[in-house]
Amino acid sequence: MKIRFLIHNAYGIGGTITTTFNLAQGLMERHDVEIVSVLRHRQRPNYTLDPRVRLRPLVDLRTEQDHPLHLKPARVFPEAEYRYRQYSQLTDQRIEEWLDGTDADVVIATRPGLNVHLALQGPRRIARVGQEHLTLDNHSPRLRRALRRAYPGLNALTTVTEADARVYRRKMHLPGVRLQCLPNSVPDPTLPVADSSSKIVIAAGRLVPVKRFDLMIEAFARVAAQHPDWQLRIYGSGEEHERLRALIERLGLYDNVLLMGAATPIEAEWVKGSIGLAASNFEPFGMTIVEAMRCGLPVVSTDCPHGPAEIIQDGVDGRLTPVGDPNALAAALLELINDDSLRRRTGQAAVRNAQRFAPALVVRQAEQLFDSLLEPGTGEGAGAPSGAGLCRTLTSRSHALKDGAYVAAGNALRRVRSSGR
């Protein structure tokens, strides 16, 4: 099977890049896999990618930043999408050209704006799979309207949690488009798992407001008051760094809370800890939670929408606490810190329970989805009308985008007419 991923920028840092690389590397054992990066801004990716997975950029910002078409606003990528300002008529053109000429059996787009490109411009001969790495409720009403009109051009849409899949089914009404959960995968550990003996709590992620590292620090002030020999190590970089540093100094926690910077890979850091910590207000999935659990750490997390409650079994392999409550977060940490046997048991349960996110299992789920979309007799695919029906569908979908999207719809229709698809 020829499988192609369409991603925003494979050369950056972020959870979508990590999970795309993980899934691509799992699929490469039995399939021909390529990652197509719309943008490129550096020579090599930040994350290690197996050389058996090809990586192809479409627009190299190092040399094409001032390309005349890149200075003109995008017509296909929806204006309400968060990354809109990074897209242009040059990205419109390059994505369409690549989709038109791809030899793929399956194309997986990895963010809403690229899902729109795939829905409108993807050849009907391929299985068109959109991925949602955030949640529907996280999108503005304007973006949801654009997605509702474009997404019938997909064969399938995957979410990273069952909860979000239910929201899509209830709110989006996409007949003919398969909606299912395909969780993120985390590679199998290569180091011995943590033994729960260290006096270290570990957190990781982008230092941005929604992750609430400030709440962690406030909670850990209560922990340090009782256990001054314990540390909280925070791995990551981002806009909140200086504010968090100031908070640490104000609370006098400079010996207890350490901003460690980004670490890639991070497995060697997880196994140094005894407890994982997450405090987000909102978490579409929770990659760091799974990473910590796979390394033997029970995780204390806020019970935010949507991911943590589908990963952590409260009281068995970690703890779930109310969102925004530093006292509850501190109490859950102290429960594990004060009970060595509980910490050890929950750490062992974390390893067992997180195995459901092992690459082999997630890859098999993906393969089953792709196989079902490519079954004989389903070549047109769900939501993929042909002939005059396609003309009407493309015209209606284009209203979800800027007026210039009519150009893309017209180009797609011309391809259908000329190819006889």
Give the pLDDT of residue 377.
Answer: 54
Give the pLDDT of residue 396.
Answer: 34
SS3 string, the chain, reads: CEEEEEECCCCCCCHHHHHHHHHHHHHCCCCEEEEEEEEECCCCCCCCCCCCCEEEEEEEHHHHCCCHHHHCECCCCCCCCCCHHHCEHHHHHHHHHHHHHCCCCEEEECCHHHHHHHHHHCCCCCEEEEEECCCHHHCCHHHHHHHHHHHHHCCEEEECCHHHHHHHHHHCCCCCCEEEECCCCCCCCCCCCCCCCCCEEEEECCCCHHHCHHHHHHHHHHHHHHCCCCEEEEECCCCCHHHHHHHHHHCCCCCCEEEEECCCCCHHHHCCCCEEEECCCCECCCHHHHHHHHCCCCEEEECCCECHHHHCCECCCEEEECCCCHHHHHHHHHHHHCCHHHHHHHHHHHHHHHHHHCHHHHHHHHHHHHHHHCCCCCCCCCCCCCHHHHHHHHHHHHHHCCCCHHHHHHHHHHHHHHHCC
What residues does each domain of the chain span?
2-185+360-419, 200-357
Topology match between the domains 2-185+360-419 and 200-357 = yes
Which tens digit of pLDDT belongs to each residue from 104-122? Answer: 999 999 999 999 999 999 9
Give the pLDDT of residue 413.
Answer: 38
> How far separated are the first and last CA of the chain, in Å rounded?
21
The pLDDT profile of the chain, 421 residues, written as one tens digit per residue, is 999 999 999 999 888 999 999 999 999 999 999 999 999 999 999 888 999 999 999 999 999 999 999 999 999 999 999 999 999 999 999 999 999 999 999 999 999 999 999 999 999 999 999 999 999 999 999 999 999 999 999 999 999 999 999 999 999 989 899 999 999 998 889 999 999 999 999 999 999 999 999 999 999 999 999 999 999 999 999 999 999 999 999 999 999 999 999 888 899 999 999 999 999 999 999 999 999 999 999 999 999 988 999 999 999 999 999 999 999 999 999 999 999 999 999 999 999 999 999 999 999 999 999 999 998 654 444 443 332 232 323 333 333 334 344 344 444 433 433 343 3
In which residue are the tokens 């977060």 written?
329
Give the pLDDT of residue 376.
Answer: 67
Q: Which residues contact 168 (CB under 8 A, 6 or more apart)?
A: 132, 136, 157, 159, 174, 179
Q: What pTM was estimated for this model as a whole?
A: 0.82
Q: How open is the CA angle 188-193-199, to the nearest 5 degrees?
A: 140
- Name the CATH architecture for the domain at 200-357: 3-Layer(aba) Sandwich (3.40)
Fold classification of 2-185+360-419 is: Rossmann fold (3.40.50)
Give the pLDDT of residue 306.
Answer: 86
Neighbour-count burial of 403, counting CB atoms closer than 10 A to its CB (0-12 exposed, 13-18 middle, 19+ buried): exposed
